[in-house]
Amino acid sequence: MSAAIETRKLTKTYKSRQLGKINVVDNLDLTVERGEIFGFLGPNGAGKTTTIKMLLGIIYPTSGEGFVLDKEIGDMDVHRMISYLPERPYYYEHMTGMELLKFYGSLFGITDQNKFKQLLEKVNLHRDLTKTIAQYSKGMQQRIGLAQSLLNDPKLLFLDEPTGGLDPIAHREIRDLILGFRDEGRTVFISSHELSEVELICDRVAIINKGVIERQGKLTDLLSGGRIGITVTGIKEQFFKDMMIGDANVRSTGTQVLLDVPEANDPNGIIDAVRTAKGQIVSVLPRRKRLEDLFVETVTNKS
Amino acid sequence: MRPILAIAQTTLGEAIRRKVLLVILLIGVLLMVVAPGLGILSARSETTVLKGMMLGIIQLTSAVIAIVLTVYMIPNEIERRTIYTILSKPVQRYQFLIGKYLGAVSALAMMMGLMSGILVLVFAISQPSNRDISAIAELIKPPVMYFVQMCLLAAVGIFFSTFVAPLVNFFLAGGVYLLGSLFNPFFETLKSSTNTPPIAKFAAAMLNFLLPNFANYNVQNPIINPGQTIRNETMYYVEITGYGVLYIALLIIGGIWIFDRREV
């Protein structure tokens, strides 16, 4: 099966009187597989929202090409199979949740009241039927946003900062809903600054900076190459220095020696050596590389 | 068609809840209610003055409502990001724009309908002789023509809202309305006068051609001045309505053309 999203050298150029031509998105090659949760990361102004708008056909690329669910971007048939939840969306405040779903449903020709009720139930708003959007909390507004984005039973969802500005409870609710979308076989494309959230739910990520994709791949691959912390007693610091473990940090606290070694080094070899020298292993703690480290490293290197 | 109606309905629902529009409407209605009390200050026939005053209030209030309603229409949707949730669904931009326009026109119809109702009511109370159907029909004709005028003004507002900011649009749409209401007859005279230099004649002809002729719809003068008559009233109304519909269609098509190419 082909990819859910594929772009080839997709570029968006804006003209500015002061700065001349600026490539907000520059030769973007992106692949999002079907059924995965894909995190699209980048600092403010990196080109994330511009990319989403191009993929949705709301703005037009300057050059390059893009395909969404096998159709060229901008094709109206794609709009029947996708949905979009913008960052900090505004909904017509005089409407109730049900009225809002009826409105968005009518844009698809959907009039099934039961479907609206089911969606309200799914996002846990079925007990707030008389409340207008103006009376909704931020979390409730985000949930009604997700409900409207599910009206057409989309194969692909674009979520722009879906948990931005929400409290931890609302965070968790939205996260669970998104994970549920993957279980239902949908593809989810998330643009977010909430890196810990992305790390928890995404299968693959891409980091965009100044319009250029800097990293793209599986989270497990990108975050590999972490370090391992080994705490030892009964052996002197010099013992490890003599072992010449590449890129290792060795520190003594008096009674204990703390080793910080790359994951690539064989920890079993070190543990065996400690035991042979009659030392004792106090702890072995793998320290996985965090997405935040990768993000900062990528963005700072570029800057 | 369904998306257009859904967008129109939502636009109407929002418009009739906008406080600024309701305040303008309230001021108009209050002025209409107190108008009979002001009529006695005039030496001329009370009925004539009262009609002129109340029709003037309806026209002015409606014009302000039409401009305020439409100048924010597209920029607001972009700023609030509502447009993205709508255009990411199977909705074409032309459907969005036509829906917004129809919603605005429906809101105008409701508000002008209310003011026309008050006009009839005030006359029915203060002028018992004006209670028969023909008198009411006569009274209602100018507001109906004003409605066509306001539909045209709303189209001007929507057209500009596809590419300019609300404040600029406020002055642009207001300026076009003033020029089209006050200066079109002047341009007409200038164009047909033998003493006008050719370049001024050409400029007058161009402006006269390009600007929508809002003055066409100011039909209150023949009514409050019985000396001024329109020979074939029905034909005149059909003609100016046709002119309005054609102009509105051109403005909406132009708006769609621009909006379709605009990055939102």
Give the closest-approach CA distance of A6 to chain B in angstroms. 18
pLDDT > 60? residue B225: no
Q: Please choose, from the candidates B103, B109, B105, the residue with its C-alpha nearest in 3D space to the C-alpha of residue B82.
A: B103
Give the closest-approach CA distance of B222 to chain A in angstroms. 43
Residues of A in contact with B84 (CB under 8 A): 53, 56, 58, 84, 86, 89
What band does A1 get if pLDDT is binned at 50, 70 and 90? low
Instruction: Average the pLDDT over A182-204 and give the result.
Output: 90
pLDDT > 70? residue B137: yes
Residue B9 to residue B18: CA distance in whole angstroms: 15
DSSP state letters, B11-23: HHHHHTT-HHHHH
Residue of A nearest to B78 (CA): A90
Long-range residue pairs from B171-178, CB within 8 A, at least 24 positions apart, any chain: B173/B67, B173/B70, B173/B71, B174/B67, B176/B211, B176/B212, B177/B63, B177/B67, B177/B153, B177/B214
Instruction: Average the pLDDT over B121-134 and give the result.
Output: 78
Expressed in angstroms, the distance from the first to the final Cα of chain A is 38
pLDDT in tens, B108-121: 999 999 999 999 88
Out of B3, B80, B91, the one facing A90 most closely (by C-beta) is B80
Residue A294 to residue B15: CA distance in whole angstroms: 49
pLDDT in tens, A93-146: 899 999 999 999 999 999 999 999 999 998 888 888 889 999 998 888 888 998
What band does A188 get if pLDDT is binned at 50, 70 and 90? very high
pTM (two decimals): 0.83
pLDDT of residue A302: 58
- Chain B interface test: which of A75, A107, A191 (most B C-beta within 10 Å): A107
Sorted by sequence, the CB contacts under 8 Å of residue A211 that are 6+ apart come out as A12, A23, A24, A25, A26, A28, A46, A47
Residues of B in contact with A88 (CB under 8 A): 81
Residue A165 to residue A147: CA distance in whole angstroms: 19
Residue B121 to residue B38: CA distance in whole angstroms: 17
pLDDT in tens, B175-223: 999 988 887 777 777 777 777 788 888 887 787 778 888 888 887 655 4
**Partner-chain contact B85 A58, CB within 8 Å:** no
What band does A11 get if pLDDT is binned at 50, 70 and 90? very high
Residue of B nearest to A154 (CA): B89
Q: What mean pLDDT is reported for chain B? A: 86
**Partner-chain contact B2 A106, CB within 8 Å:** yes
Give the closest-approach CA distance of A152 to chain B in angstroms. 9
What ipTM is given for this predicted complex? Answer: 0.82
pLDDT: is A7 or B233 the higher one? A7
Structure tokens at A135: 């009376």
> How many alpha carbons lie under 13 Å from residue A248 in its C-beta half-sphere?
26
* Backbone φ/ψ region at A70: left (φ over 0), alpha (ψ -120 to 50), beta: left
Query: Rounded to an integer, what is the distance from CA A259 to the centroid of its chain?
Result: 33
pLDDT of residue A212: 92
Number of other residues whose CB lies within 10 A of the CB of residue B172: 18
pLDDT of residue B224: 47
pLDDT > 60? residue B142: yes
pLDDT: is B228 or B133 the higher one? B133
pLDDT of residue B42: 58
Out of A79, A94, A107, the one facing B6 most closely (by C-beta) is A107
